[in-house]
């Protein structure tokens, strides 16, 4: 066993803070513990470079670092680049007390979290625990850093045999090794062995991840509910539950659980992105608009930023412009220049520049649909036709909006095959077989005059094929008949939004158009009345 007075001699520490007084204070504290190697940095970029060179044992990082990456974004960047070594302890330090900031900090899973102000005694107590664990697990961490998972697993077994006090931690690490190797059955076996003895939230979460990966979404969902019941702030459980609902094609439940997670912890790019995508699906454009705005704020300096976020925000703003004539539409249009600048600066690829060019010309065309503007649109569409690589999903969505609203036959003829091919390659949330099965069930129940059951079946069918006007009509008709039968109107706003979107495709001369407008007007009156 290492002498407690000597354990810090071999430890290296990196301190990152933009205030000189606090940096000096921290440096003096850790040096008083016996640390010989201390590096200090004032910004995240320098810290990245310094850590890459020295691979410190402990990182003491302040959350607020002025311009550039903050402490959380640095942690995300290190993980994203696969730079953070096993055995490195990342300690986040912050003076922030707002619950959403604290939740966001904890979600990134630093090894510890210190709130200012703190004493030297508190810091030493926290670091002692981290260093003790690191020393005990050092051979295992070394094997993992050398990409020798089999050796690491054997060393875990040896350590458990020698030291029963670290048994749970060894099992946890073994399960995480199996997870990283995508060996879900082995990982699940370990998590279940732990849960058989103790109800630990991290083991429940690990087991839920395994169940979902094995397409066992019901079991995963049950575990997520257990975690959330015990800890309503366990947003990771909400996120995983959302994935379960999406796997089950229950997008309404996925949307609801994502909104619940956002309320608890809004500072997550991935969660805000999911909210925006689901809100767009239900045509709740203001929610989608605000979620993408938040994504862009959080994505500044972040490795988690994506080109699709900016193109999808162009899509949302365009839909608002086309369907809303209030101040909100004017506000949405004002976003275009900033989005163009960001795309041009951060994503200088041919495809991203094409997306900006075609959108700019389309917006000009909407203002004045003269021949010259139409010709410009046709010319840029020709460039897209000649583009040799596959288009990303957001660009396909943008082109579909342009095709539907340009009213130029040549543009439609050129874009239609591109969109059809692109959508065939995109992994879709739609499940047409499931949709057809539920539609058939709904029709049976409708004939039996069991309108409540019929409405439920049609709602599930539409969620799995949201662009099908026939299913939308079936759903509205069932809701109408149920209302006539017992004066209850149970269609939700989201079901109405899906129906409205699906029925927009019906031309005025279509025999279903008149009935669809009548049912939509009835439903709208009931929902707003």
What is the pLDDT confidence band of residue 427, given thresholds at 50, 70 and 90? very low
What is the C-alpha to C-alpha distance for residues 219 and 505, in angstroms, rounded to an integer? 39
Quick one: CA dihedral 432, 433, 438, 442, positive or negative?
Answer: positive
Look at residue 432 and tell me whether its pLDDT is greater than 80. no
Phi, psi of 30 (to 5 degrees): -70, -30
Mean pLDDT lowest for which of 112-116, 164-168, 185-189, 240-244?
112-116
What is the C-alpha to C-alpha distance for residues 375 and 501, in angstroms, rounded to an integer? 29
Peptide bond before 117: cis, by omega within 30 degrees of 0? Answer: yes
What is the C-alpha to C-alpha distance for residues 226 and 236, in angstroms, rounded to an integer? 12
Tell me the mean pLDDT in the region 45-59: 93
pLDDT attached to residue 467: 78
42: three-class secondary structure by DSSP: coil
Residue 153 neighbours by CB under 8 Å, 6+ apart:
174, 177
Residue pair 13/40 in contact by the 8 Å Cβ criterion = no
Residue pair 462/503 in contact by the 8 Å Cβ criterion = no
Look at residue 187 and tell me whether its pLDDT is greater than 80. yes
Strand order of the β-sheet with 37-41 is: 37-41, 12-16, 58-62, 89-94, 112-115
What is the C-alpha to C-alpha distance for residues 151 and 140, in angstroms, rounded to an integer? 8
What is the C-alpha to C-alpha distance for residues 187 and 395, in angstroms, rounded to an integer? 38
Mean pLDDT lowest for which of 9-18, 136-145, 329-338, 442-451?
442-451
Mean pLDDT lowest for which of 119-128, 433-442, 512-521?
433-442
**What integer best gives the mean pLDDT of the chain?**
88
Q: Token pair 């003076």 is at which residue?
A: 95
Look at residue 102 and tell me whether its pLDDT is greater than 60. no
**Closest to 395 (Cα-Cα) out of 383, 413, 407:** 383
Tell me the mean pLDDT in the region 482-488: 83
Residue 462 neighbours by CB under 8 Å, 6+ apart:
435, 468, 471, 472, 475, 495, 498, 499, 502
Residue pair 113/92 in contact by the 8 Å Cβ criterion = yes
Give the H/E segment covering residue 93.
strand 89-94
> Measuring CA to CA, how many Å separate 173 from each of 75, 170, 342?
20, 5, 41
Phi, psi of 387 (to 5 degrees): -65, 125
What is the C-alpha to C-alpha distance for residues 371 and 361, in angstroms, rounded to an integer? 13
Span 385-424, pLDDT tens digits: 999 888 888 999 999 999 989 989 999 999 998 888 777 6
What is the C-alpha to C-alpha distance for residues 191 and 398, in angstroms, rounded to an integer? 44
Q: Per the structure block, which two tokens stand in for 90? A: 């990342």
Triad 414, 472, 422: Cα angle to 5°: 25
pLDDT attached to residue 101: 52
**Better-predicted residue by pLDDT, 492 or 100:** 492
Tell me the mean pLDDT in the region 70-93: 86
Look at residue 326 and tell me whether its pLDDT is greater than 70. yes
Question: In this structure, what DSSP letter does residue 165 have?
Answer: G
Question: In this structure, what DSSP letter does residue 68 have?
Answer: S
Length of the chain measured in residues: 529
Question: What are the structural domains, with CATH classification, of the chain?
Answer: 12-136 (3.40.50.2300), 143-267 (1.25.40.10), 268-428 (no CATH), 432-528 (1.25.40)
Q: Per the structure block, which two tokens stand in for 357? A: 């060019």
Phi, psi of 39 (to 5 degrees): -110, 145
Tell me the mean pLDDT in the region 242-249: 89
Span 205-240, pLDDT tens digits: 999 999 998 989 999 999 999 999 988 888 889 999
What's the helix, strand, coil split of the chain in %, to 5?
Answer: 70, 5, 25
What is the C-alpha to C-alpha distance for residues 440 and 430, in angstroms, rounded to an integer? 17
**Better-predicted residue by pLDDT, 428 or 35:** 35
pLDDT attached to residue 291: 96
Span 256-312, pLDDT tens digits: 999 999 988 888 888 899 999 999 988 899 999 999 999 998 887 777 788 999 999
Mean pLDDT lowest for which of 27-41, 77-91, 93-107?
93-107
Look at residue 7 and tell me whether its pLDDT is greater than 70. yes
Look at residue 106 and tell me whether its pLDDT is greater than 80. no
User: In this structure, how many other beta carbons lie within 10 angstroms of the beta carbon of residue 370?
Assistant: 9
Look at residue 182 and tell me whether its pLDDT is greater than 50. yes
What is the pLDDT confidence band of residue 376, given thresholds at 50, 70 and 90? very high
Task: Give me the percent of the chain exceeding a pLDDT of 70.
Answer: 93
Look at residue 80 and tell me whether its pLDDT is greater than 60. yes
pLDDT attached to residue 492: 87
What is the pLDDT confidence band of residue 155, given thresholds at 50, 70 and 90? very high
Span 203-214, pLDDT tens digits: 999 999 999 989
* Total-model pTM: 0.76
Tell me the mean pLDDT in the region 75-94: 87
pLDDT attached to residue 299: 82
Quick one: CA dihedral 142, 146, 151, 154, positive or negative?
Answer: positive
What is the pLDDT confidence band of residue 1, given thresholds at 50, 70 and 90? very low
Mean pLDDT lowest for which of 95-99, 116-120, 467-471?
95-99
For 140, half-sphere exposure in the C-beta direction (CA atoms, 13 angstrom radius) is: 24
**Better-predicted residue by pLDDT, 318 or 233:** 318
Question: In this structure, what DSSP letter does residue 466 have?
Answer: T
């Amino acid at each position: 066993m290492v002498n407690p007075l000597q354990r810090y001699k071999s430890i290296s520490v990196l301190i990152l803070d933009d205030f000189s007084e606090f940096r000096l204070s921290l440096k003096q504290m850790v040096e008083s513990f016996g640390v010989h190697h201390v590096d200090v940095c004032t910004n995240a970029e320098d810290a990245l470079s310094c850590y890459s060179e020295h691979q410190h044992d402990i990182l003491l990082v302040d959350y607020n670092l002025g311009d550039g990456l903050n402490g959380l974004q640095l942690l995300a960047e290190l993980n994203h680049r696969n730079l953070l070594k096993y055995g490195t302890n990342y300690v986040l330090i912050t003076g922030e007390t707002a619950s959403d900031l604290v939740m966001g900090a904890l979600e990134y899973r630093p090894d510890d979290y210190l709130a200012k102000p703190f004493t030297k005694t508190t810091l030493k107590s926290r670091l002692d625990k981290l260093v003790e664990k690191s020393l005990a697990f050092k051979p295992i961490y070394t094997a993992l850093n050398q990409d020798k998972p089999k050796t690491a697993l054997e060393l875990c077994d040896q350590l458990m045999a020698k030291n029963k006090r670290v048994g749970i931690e060894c099992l946890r690490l073994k399960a995480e090794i199996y997870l990283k190797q995508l060996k879900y059955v082995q990982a699940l076996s370990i998590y279940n062995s732990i849960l058989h003895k103790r109800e630990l939230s991290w083991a429940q979460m690990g087991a839920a991840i395994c169940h979902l990966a094995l397409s066992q979404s019901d079991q995963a969902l049950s575990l997520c509910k257990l975690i959330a019941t015990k800890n309503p702030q366990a947003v990771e459980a909400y996120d995983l539950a959302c994935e379960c609902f999406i796997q089950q094609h229950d997008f309404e439940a996925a949307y609801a659980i994502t909104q619940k997670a956002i309320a608890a912890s809004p500072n997550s790019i991935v969660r805000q992105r999911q909210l925006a995508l689901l809100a767009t699906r239900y045509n709740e454009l203001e929610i989608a608009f605000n979620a993408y705005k938040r994504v862009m704020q959080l994505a500044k300096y972040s490795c988690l930023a994506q080109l699709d976020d900016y193109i999808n925000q162009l899509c949302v703003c365009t839909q608002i412009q086309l369907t809303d004539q209030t101040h909100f539409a004017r506000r949405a249009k004002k976003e275009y220049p900033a989005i163009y600048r960001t795309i041009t600066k951060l994503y200088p690829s041919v495809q991203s520049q094409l997306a900006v060019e075609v959108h700019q010309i389309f917006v000009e065309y909407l203002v004045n649909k003269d021949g010259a503007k139409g010709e410009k649109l046709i010319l840029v569409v020709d460039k897209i036709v000649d583009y040799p690589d596959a288009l990303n999903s957001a660009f396909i969505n943008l082109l579909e909006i342009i095709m539907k609203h340009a009213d130029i036959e040549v543009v439609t003829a050129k874009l239609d095959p591109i969109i059809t091919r692109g959508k065939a390659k995109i992994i879709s949330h739609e499940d047409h077989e499931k949709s057809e099965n539920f539609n058939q069930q709904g029709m049976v129940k409708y004939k039996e005059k069991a309108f409540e059951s019929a409405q439920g079946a049609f709602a599930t069918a539409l969620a799995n094929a949201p662009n099908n006007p026939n299913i939308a009509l079936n759903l509205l008709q069932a809701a109408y008949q149920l209302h006539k039968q017992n004066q209850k109107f149970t269609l939700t706003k989201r079901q109405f939004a899906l129906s409205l979107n699906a029925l927009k495709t019906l031309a005025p001369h279509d025999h279903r158009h008149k009935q669809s407008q009548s049912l939509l007007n009835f439903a709208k009156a009931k929902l707003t009345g």
